[in-house]
Amino acid sequence: IPLYTHPQYGPPEAAAESSREQVAEGYKALKTDPFWEEMGKYHTARMNGYISPKGVRRGAEIIAAIREAVGPDIEILIDAHGHYDVASAIRCAKALEPFDLTWFEEPVQPESLEALRQVRESVGIPLCVGERLYTRFGFFPVLSQGLTDYIMPDIVWTGGITETRKIANLAEVFHIPVTPHDANGPLNIIAGAHTMMSVPNFYRLEMISGWMDNYNACIEPKLDIRDGYLHLPEKPGLGFELNKDFL
């Protein structure tokens, strides 16, 4: 299963160095939030959705440094965390358009399709949404109205393996890639990986390599990641046992 991972957030030089390290480990796709320095403090308590011109410029500087560090062939993904109003989301995306990005994720909060549509019609970067959409019924209007280029259901939040497979089937009808939001724990990653093994429109699976020690402390055997790919065991079920003493 091909993965994407996250370099460390930080100033341009630190973000670039972390990105180089991830690429050296074999990862071909990296996701970051270059606007976190200003907007991270609002992460789960969104205020008015505004980011300053300085914050936008700072984000562009970080992505410019990462692109220069990793070269033209590594995919760069942006997570906007739904922080923005429509105007700010558009300003941020347009500032990053020169850097050949794979997607701009969750530009606005998930409740308004009209807000998403305005961003969609105004920017030149593919969009990714869906970690806060639930069941295939929540994904259908986004897909049927052509409002995204990728979807990222969370296998836990949306109802498990069966519902995630149904969402993937639905997205296949619209030729939209599926890329599960699977960063919150080892079973989340493992269940997403097993499900995606049978999904033809699968793109990549999310994994935060910096959390690897925590992931592996929870399970046996350890996650087998080589050159940016997760290799699943051939044991029954999910193929792993929980370390109940650690938990």
Beta strands in 35-122 (DSSP E): 75-79, 103-105
Beta bridge partners of 150: 128
Given the structure tokens 């593919």, which residue do they identify?
Answer: 126
Q: Which candidate in 6, 43, 81, 83 is catalytic?
A: 81
Residue type, 66: I
CA angle at residue 87 from 97 to 143, to 5 degrees?
70
End-to-end CA distance of the chain: 26
181 among known catalytic residues: yes
| Residue 244 CA to its chain's centroid (Å) | 29
Question: In 3-state terms, what secondary structure has residue 77?
Answer: strand
Both tokens of 77, joined, read 């993904």
Q: Which candidate in 6, 175, 181, 231 is catalytic?
A: 181
Residue type, 98: P
| Contact status, residue 56 vs residue 30, Cβ threshold 8 Å | no
| Contact status, residue 132 vs residue 160, Cβ threshold 8 Å | no
207 CB-side CA count, 13 A: 30
Catalytic residues, by residue number, are 81, 181
